Amino acid sequence: MTASNDQNAALRIASGRKPFVEPLRLGERLKEIRLAQHWTLDDVSQRTGLARSTLSKIENDQISPTFSAVQKLITGLGIDLPQLLAPPKPQSATSGRRDLTRAGDGQRHPTPTYEHELLSWQLAQKRMIPFKTIVRARQFEEFTEWVRHDGEEFLIVLDGDIMLYTEFYEPLTLHHGDSIYFDSEMGHALVSVSEEDAVVLSVCTRGDSP
Amino acid sequence: MTASNDQNAALRIASGRKPFVEPLRLGERLKEIRLAQHWTLDDVSQRTGLARSTLSKIENDQISPTFSAVQKLITGLGIDLPQLLAPPKPQSATSGRRDLTRAGDGQRHPTPTYEHELLSWQLAQKRMIPFKTIVRARQFEEFTEWVRHDGEEFLIVLDGDIMLYTEFYEPLTLHHGDSIYFDSEMGHALVSVSEEDAVVLSVCTRGDSP
DNA sequence: ATGATACGTTCACTATAAGAAACATATTTT
DNA sequence: AAAATATGTTTCTTATAGTGAACGTATCAT
């Protein structure tokens, strides 16, 4: 054993998503898709190349399909895996969440270089993280290392002017209204270059899916 | 045959994603994950309950694992399926893309009710879609039906005041600096309520993963 | 009703994935 | 260096997924 269970636990937590595998009613789901299109087992058989009997058994959870069989299914039915694995959409019907943040009411996270204000922090399971940032840094040297995190980031200047330093490009000056989109695992750092501290709005993606 | 191929074609298109099934180097990917954690086949065997030999064969693409085997893999390794299927990160090593949009240089899409300005439209494969919108609508009645799309949306008021109408909530007045995050498949619509046309910045998620 | 057709399930057989142990190399220990 | 241990591959067996044919039942036509 070269790695401890603690490490595994850490990995699970780091992943940020429940690593649970639901009963995965794959058969049920397949049948649902099939019936939605008014297809017979023969139809699906022709499309996928899998035997009618095989399909029947999969639908009734009598066998656990091979991965290559699953591939035939998703190509043949023209769906993608998430669709096939998606539980019979429990949420979709009722997804009407919202999270209002009045100006200045965000959650503040001060650091020496930045003063972040998280904007929709009340909503837990979301795919974007929006925040407003007052850029306190005045010199690139104030950063001991690159800011870097998974995913992508969109940034727009609300007030003042900033210099955007990135790992792979020349520094870039951004003025009020300018915006930029970049892969945020590329090191990056902001400094204010205007009289006042600059203010930027950023939105980051959460690190999951490809 | 109870359904035409046209229907199937339509389904593929409707899905909005290329229904291609890449060679799916599942074995390669598994090995990558394993080595990244400095795990041996025995380690993974203990975690997943699969035999060492089986794992070896999966890694070398000598067999196509059963779906139940895949489940054991993802639970045992504490990952989720997308992670396991993600192609051996072709980008990750070199992901330093960026897309700058100077103020006013976005791509304009005028409609009767809104005037959108797409902000980082040069970058194709991205997970968020940012755009600035001038809200032309002055009456809720100008909308013939709800605006509605997959995914989630973040919105912040840059100028003026707006009224946000949503399918499941009372209308909400938002002033300069206010922001809101919501599920965008819930119907929504904006109207300006200030003297000038209001301007908002929105960021939508792309419609993929669950 | 009677036969014919269409669908899904079950059976008997074949193909293949999963498991245990032997094998082949590395790597470490003494 | 030799022995011991660790790690990944290969072999052989067994469990099970996949197939085609037979079966049961429902629907339709005559």
Tell me, yes or no, whether B73 lies in a domain.
Answer: yes
Residues A199, A136 share a domain: yes
Residues 31-60 (A) with a CB less than 8 A from some CB of B:
37-40, 42-43, 46-47
DSSP string computed for B90-115: TTGGG---EEEE-TT-SEEEE-SSEE
Do residue B114 and residue B74 come from a single domain?
no
Note the pLDDT tens digit of each residue in A189-198.
999 999 999 9
Residue A25 and residue A114 in one domain:
no
Q: Are A78 and B19 in contact (CB under 8 A)?
A: yes
Residues having Cβ less than 7 A from any atom in strand C: A 40-42, 52-53, 56-57, 59-60, 62, 66, 68; B 2, 49-54, 57-58, 62-66, 68-69
Residue whose token pair is 């008014």: A38
- Strand pairing class (A152-159; A179-183): antiparallel
A79 is written with which tokens?
């769906």
In a domain, A143, yes or no: yes
Mutation test of the interface with chain B: which of A71, A80, A134, A155, choosing the one with the most B Cβ atoms within 10 A? A80
Q: Report which of B181, B147, B157, B164 is spatially closest to residue A206, judged by C-alpha positions.
A: B181
pLDDT greater at residue A197 or residue A34: A197
Could you give the number of structural domains in chain A? 2
Which residue, B52, B85, B118, sits at the end of a domain? B85
CA-nearest of B68, B26, B31, B37 to A21 is B68
A12 touches chain B (CB under 8 A): yes
Read off the pLDDT of each residue in B152-158 and give the average, rounded to a whole number. 94
Q: Are A149 and A208 in contact, with CB atoms under 8 Å apart?
A: no
Q: What is the CATH number of the domain that holds B153?
A: 2.60.120.10
Amino acid at site B48: T
Angle at CA of residue B113, ends B127 and A204, nearest 5° = 20
Host domain of residue A196: 107-205
Which pLDDT belongs to residue B72? 87
Q: Which of B201, B12, B130, B63 is nearest to A77 (CA)?
A: B12
Give the span between the Cα atoms of A42 and A49, in whole angstroms: 10
Give the mean model confidence (pLDDT) for residues B36-48.
Answer: 86
pLDDT tens figures, B73-124: 887 877 767 666 655 444 444 467 889 999 999 999 888 899 999 999 888 7
**Which two structure tokens, joined as six digits, stand for A194?**
């205007």
Residue B167 has pLDDT above 70, yes or no: yes
Dihedral (CA of B203, B149, B126, A13) sign:
positive
